[in-house]
Every structure is written in C-alpha cells, then in structure tokens.
Amino acid sequence: MSRQPNEPATMVLILTPWATEQDMQQLFQRIEDKGLDRVVYRAQVRTHIHVLGDLSGESETQWSAQPGVEQVYGLPKPYPMANKTHRRAHTRIPVGSQQLGSEDFVVIAGPCALESEEQGLEAARMMKGLGIEIMRASCFKPRTSPYSFQGLGVEGLHILSRIREATGILVETEVMDVRDVEIASELVDVVRVGARNMQNFDLLKEMSRIRTPVIVKRGASNSIKEFLLAAEYILQGNENVILCERGIRTFETGYRNTLDVGCVAVLKQETHLPVIVDPSHAAGNKTLVPALSLAGVAAGADGLIVEVHPHPSVALCDGDQALHRFQFENLMRDVRGVAAVLGRRTLPPLSTGFATPGPEPALSVPA
Ligand code: PEP
Ligand code: MN
C-alpha cells in the first residue's frame, strides 16, 4: 500500500554553521506550535533537528525558508499514491494477453486519428496481422489550427467499438472533454489524457471516477513532479494509470519534441506505475522514430505507443511521423532484440511478408 497521508514520518532540518541560538529557539517554537516532536543532534559544525509526527501538511519550501535552516530532508513525497517507496509490488495492467508493468514489453500502435470506419478497419487488420493486440486511433484531436481535421468525435467511439467487435483488436483513444469520459470508458479499452490536457484537473478528476486504464501523457512543458501529481489525481479513484513520456519542448528544432529518456529512468525509480514512451510525437518524422523507440526500450520503459498508418501519405493527421507497415515491421524486429537483452518479453511476430522497403500499398478505399 502507498503511504497514507497521516502516517508518521521524520523530517530532518540541517542548520547552517552560523545558525544562532535565537534561530534554534524559533524553530523549536514552530515545531511545538504544530504539535510535532523533536530530537536535536548537535554536531561540531552543523546541528540536525529531527522533527517527528504527522508531517503530511508540511511544505519543504516553508521549512527551508526559516532562519538558520540550510537543508530539509525526509518529507513525504507530495504524490503518496504514485510513489513506490511504501509499495511492495509494481502496478500491472492487463492489455490483451500481456501485462503492462510486468516483464512484458507492450506495443500499442496505429494511426494518429480514426478517419473513417474503412480506414480504422484496414488499420486494425494490419495491426492484428502483425501481432499487435491494441490499436491507438484518436477520435478527438487537439489540433493547433481550427481548420485541421478535428476527429470523428463520439461517432468515432462507436466506430472503434464496432472495429473491436469485428476484429478482436483492443482500442485506445484520447479523451479531451469531461463529458466524453464515461461513454469512452464504455466503448474503448484504454483512454488517454493528451499532453495538452495533462493539467486539465477537471478531466483528471473525471478519469478517477472510471476503472478503464488511463494513459496520461506528460505535458510538453511539465516537470516530472507535475507529471506525477497529474497521475495522483487519477489515482484518487482509478488505480489503472499508465505514464507516457512523449517529449518536451526545448530550444532544439532538429525534431518535434525532445524525448526525455532521463524522465523514463526517474519515473521507474519514483513510481510503481507502468511507463511507456511515445517516440512518434517526440520525433515528428518517421525516420527518427526507430532510434527514439529503441532509446525508450533501453531506458527501461514498459512499452511504446507508436503511430503507424496503412497509407501515411494520405493520413489526415501526423502523416510525416506515421510509419509504413514495412518500417513498423523492421522496428518491431529491433524492439524485440533490445527488449530480449533486457529480459523483457515481447509478443512474437505474426506475418512478415512486407518487411522490405517498397511502395506504399494502393488505397483500398478512396482517400
Ligand atoms: C496523440 O497521441 O495523438 C497526441 C496528440 O499526442 P500528444 O498529446 O502527446 O501531443
Ligand atoms: Mn499524432
């Protein structure tokens, strides 16, 4: 179990070498006023004060701002549910025949957006044929321009549900509006909070009321702490949270976003939740997707979410970063290789007829 907010803990205040007797008396008074206990260790240079009791309401910045205090250690993390310190096991989330958060390495793949029933079906059959058990396809698209394709909306959710029925593939989609959370949770297998909504707190609260697994993506300008606090909102009621690193905004313009592989490593230390990497929105270009995917596997991610399209050249959204079928097959071969070195289990490939470069297959439906 995670730490309960009122569980006793110890905070250590390390005083500066020049802290005065008056500074110390003020600190003792503050500790007493808050109903906390203290044990004082006077070392040759620095004095340490151990503060004991219910520290759940204490703020590190307030204590470190007190006169005479140099450093503060040991306060409970502000995300007790997401933090792994007091949990014995990692959270495991079943996805098809695999479990995210176990030794299994899970790959979610599919088009950026659901564009039509035909496109979704074609993509689903392609993904299934390659041994992928869960397809991504967004019905609500957060587009920078109001003139860009906005997604099929609620109708898209029904289409995804029919595709699921017809093919047996599981489906994953983004939800942007609190009003769509409930219906999405009934019609799809995994819902997603997109990067732009990572701090849409009403949406996060709504996600805590469902039991469907939620992928929460890191906002392009959010710290790891803010990311974990977003997860904490959902964890208030829904323990099926999957964290997704998808690149952050930096000064670099050589790709779309800077994939923060360090974030993956930090998250694996800090939390028991599964962590996946989205190489596609970090890359912004299909040629960079393989390298970023493998970096994600090597950094310790539990899975990937990759954009793949049956006809990238006519995709209504993110065609530049969508892999062709043969590129995805080649990527999967390499992902399996790196994952195996790290002792991770991947699903075996199913069909391999298209793994060499070739022309994009002809459209089976008009664009
Ligand atoms: C997406 O995955 O479709 C998407 C919009 O990504 P992000 O929220 O990371 O920008
Ligand atoms: Mn996209």
* Ligand 1 binding pocket mutation candidate from 242, 278, 307, 308 (most atoms within 8 A of CB): 278
Whole-number Å distance between alpha carbons of 83 and 91: 11
**In a structure prediction context, what are the per-residue pLDDT tens digits for the chain, which is 367 residues long?**
344 444 557 899 999 999 999 999 999 999 999 999 999 998 888 899 999 998 888 888 899 999 999 999 888 788 989 998 767 789 999 999 999 999 999 999 999 999 999 999 999 999 999 999 999 999 999 999 999 999 999 999 999 999 999 999 999 999 999 999 999 999 999 999 999 999 999 999 999 999 999 999 999 999 999 999 999 999 999 999 999 999 999 999 999 999 999 999 999 999 999 999 999 999 999 999 999 999 999 999 999 999 999 999 999 999 999 999 999 999 999 999 999 999 999 999 876 555 555 556 666 544 4
Going by DSSP bridges, is the β-strand pair 214-217/241-245 parallel, antiparallel, or unpaired? parallel
309 lines ligand 1 (CB under 6 A): no
Residue 357's CB: how many other CB atoms inside 10 A?
9
pTM for the whole thing?
0.86
- Give the three-state DSSP class for 336: helix
d(CA 333, CA 356): 12
Residue 3: its pLDDT value, please? Answer: 44
Distances (CA, A) of 161 to 113, 180, 185, 187, 262: 15, 15, 11, 5, 36
Please identify every residue whose CB atom is under 5 Å from ligand 2, which is an ion.
112, 318
Angstrom distance (rounded) from CA 137 to CA 190 = 11
Three-point CA angle 247, 203, 157, nearest 5°? 85
Residue 45, Cβ neighbours under 10 Å: how many?
7
Which residues, 6 or more positions from 361, have their beta carbon under 8 angstroms from its beta carbon?
A: 310, 311, 325
Evaluated on CA atoms 260, 262, 265, 268, the torsion sign reads negative
Residues 6 or more apart whose Cβ sits within 8 Å of residue 354: 325, 326, 329
Three-class DSSP labels, 100-163: ECCCECEEEEECCECCCHHHHHHHHHHHHHCCCCEEECECCCCCCCCCCCCCCHHHHHHHHHHH
Nearest CA to ligand 1 atom 4: 194
Q: Does 324 contact ligand 1 (Cβ within 6 A)?
A: no
How many C-beta atoms lie closer than 10 Å to residue 92's C-beta?
16
Which ligand 1 atom lies nearest to the CA of residue 247? 9
Q: Which amino acid is at 128?
A: K
| Structure tokens belonging to residue 73 | 């250690």
Residue 357: predicted pLDDT: 59
Q: Which residues contact 16 (CB under 8 A, 6 or more apart)?
A: 46, 68, 69, 70
The best mutation among 145, 175, 281 to test binding of ligand 1, ranked by most ligand atoms within 8 Å of the C-beta, falls on: 281
List, in sequence order, the alpha helices (H) in the chain.
21-33, 60-64, 117-129, 153-167, 181-187, 201-207, 224-235, 261-270, 279-283, 289-299, 325-341
Pair type for strands 275-277 and 241-245: parallel
pLDDT at 248: 98
pLDDT of residue 320: 97
Q: In Å, how far from its chain's centre is CA 172?
A: 14
217 CB within 6 A, ligand 1? yes
pLDDT for 6 = 46
For atom 10 of ligand 1, which residue has the closest CA?
195
